[in-house]
């Protein structure tokens, strides 16, 4: 029987190019390192490649997974992992939904942007795995900005976000294989915010609203693109 923890659940787009990136990133791992693992299909493939290296070369690494599905993959590949976020992570890898000309990112299509951002903040070096399909001239061109919100205040927060300048639409993210909304690993909901224009002040404005835990805007981070 196939291990369900190694089943991504759907066809991985651009599989061959993502697999090449995953192999390249996995070769960066050195024994003794703590490595943050982002979410998404490229990160998933990278975890599989890291597991193969640990099995073949007996390197000793610790993974900090940013989502349940990546933690599942770590466990299935017998990778040592921790749910706690250390003060310092040697390096991290992650994908992105969009990347603009100023190296600003939108992440969170998988709903794990809160822990992804915590890992980004703790990592001494960051690698963002993004092929040309992720390029946009203006951030928000292809995807809304996800905002993780406590359900206890979500109606009020929905209204307040709707009143922000340049907001075009706010939508509660619905689940696919369950009734009702997406429920994040923090027991919150996600509001997807479509914008006509995204400036650098938007994230701080969103974070002042009641119940907002995190946004999918990744601004001002230094990283190397792979």
* Residues catalogued as catalytic: 116
SS3 content of the chain, % helix, strand, coil (to 5): 30, 25, 45
Phi-psi region of 9 (alpha: psi -120 to 50; beta: other; left: phi over 0): left
Q: Which two tokens stand for residue 144?
A: 């809304």
Helix H or strand E encompassing 104: none
Taking the C-alpha atoms of residue 163 and residue 176, their distance in angstroms, rounded to an integer, is: 28
Strand-pair partners of 171? 192
Q: Is 169 helix (H, G, I), strand (E, B) or coil?
A: strand
State the sign of the Cα–Cα–Cα–Cα dihedral 110, 135, 121, 206: negative
Count the Cβ atoms, other than its own, within 10 Å of residue 74: 23
């Amino acid at each position: 029987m196939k291990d369900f923890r190694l089943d991504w659940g759907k066809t991985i787009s651009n599989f061959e190019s993502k697999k090449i990136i995953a192999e390249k990133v996995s070769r960066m791992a050195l024994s003794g390192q703590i490595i943050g693992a982002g979410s998404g299909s490229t990160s998933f493939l990278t975890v599989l490649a890291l597991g193969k290296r640990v099995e073949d070369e007996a390197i000793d690494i610790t993974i900090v997974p940013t989502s349940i599905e990546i933690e599942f993959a770590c466990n299935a590949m017998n990778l040592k992992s921790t749910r706690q976020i250390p003060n310092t992570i040697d390096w991290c890898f992650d994908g992105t939904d969009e990347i603009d000309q100023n190296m600003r990112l939108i992440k969170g299509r998988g709903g794990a942007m809160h822990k992804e951002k915590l890992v980004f903040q703790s990592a001494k070096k960051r690698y963002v795995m993004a092929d040309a399909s992720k390029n946009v001239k203006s951030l928000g061109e292809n995807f809304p900005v996800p905002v993780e919100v406590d359900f206890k205040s979500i109606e009020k927060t929905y209204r307040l976000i709707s009143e922000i300048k340049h907001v075009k639409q706010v939508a509660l993210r619905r689940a696919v294989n369950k009734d009702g909304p997406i429920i994040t690993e923090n027991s919150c909901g996600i509001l997807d915010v479509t914008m006509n224009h995204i400036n650098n002040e938007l994230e701080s404005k969103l974070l002042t609203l009641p119940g907002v835990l995190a946004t999918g805007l990744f601004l001002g981070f230094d990283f190397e693109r792979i």
